[in-house]
Amino acid sequence: MSNHPELQAGIVLVGAPGSGKGTQATRLQNTLGYVHISTGDLLRAAVAAGTSLGQQAKAYMDAGGLVPDALVIDLVKQALAAPRAHKGFLLDGFPRTLAQARALEAADVRVSCVVNLLVPFELIERRIIGRRSCPNGHVFHLEYAPPKRQDVCDKCGQALAQRSDDTPEKVRARLEKFASETQPVIEHYAHTPGLVVDVDGLGDPDEVFARVTAVLR
């Protein structure tokens, strides 16, 4: 990864899958004007485009596993090199492993704050398993935000479906991976005093956003 000394500092959002990182990143993007870089979105776009990288990533995603560091790092490298990332960036789902965190450091990308969203695994399973989305990316939840018509998107009328990696077995596999691979990343950043801030991820998105913005002031 080549150095990008012109890059401004960014915020890293960490937390287990389904902890609400994407929702909070979108709100922060609108508030701060930073670029939201979601590895999940980058990977799904590569898969949808049928690129070589996307085809490789799809096999891992369909199996409920994590995409190898080398593939993810290449995608994030491209996103960070874009001019729009120079004002500031929000990393959502990256770094997920120590190798990814060290890749950021090797590129001289400065992280100003690591927001750690805390949500019990039992609740996360319910959040993820109940998600449904349409081909245009609109997301609903069978329990918390159901569509007006069963299995039909309120916004575009397309059919809603469960993502292939949102089944109970695959969700549990992702949570186990998070515990073994991403928790060490949080501990790595915690060696820098004040860099990691824990935020209670329970409650509605407005309540969580208020907590997140409070720690960023």
What pLDDT score does 4 carry? 41
**The amino acid at 211:** R
Task: Work out the number of other CB atoms within 10 angstroms of the CB of residue 129.
Answer: 18
Distance from chain centroid for Cα 38: 5
Would you give per-residue pLDDT tens digits along the chain (217 residues)?
334 444 457 899 999 988 999 889 999 999 988 999 988 888 888 889 988 888 888 888 888 777 888 888 888 888 888 888 888 899 988 998 899 999 888 888 889 999 999 999 999 999 899 999 999 989 999 998 999 999 999 999 999 999 888 999 999 998 998 999 899 999 999 999 999 999 999 998 999 999 999 998 7
CATH 3.40.50.300 fits 10-120+173-216, yes or no: yes
**What local confidence, expressed as pLDDT, does residue 8 receive?**
54
Query: Which residues does 51 contact at the CB level (< 8 Å), separation at least 6?
Result: none
Distances (CA, A) of 155 to 69, 133, 144: 35, 11, 17
Q: State how far the Cα of 57 lies from the Cα of 158, in Å rounded to an integer.
A: 26
Sequence ranges of the domains in the chain: 10-120+173-216
Residues 6 or more apart from 183 whose CB is under 8 A from it?
Answer: none
Element (H, E) at 169: helix 168-177
Q: Are strands 196-200 and 131-133 parallel, antiparallel or unpaired?
A: unpaired
> Which residues are marked as active site?
21, 96, 131, 163, 174
CA torsion, ordered 79, 83, 84, 88, to nearest 10 deg = 80
Structure confidence at residue 7 (pLDDT): 45
Which of 34, 41, 38 minimizes the C-alpha distance to 89? 34
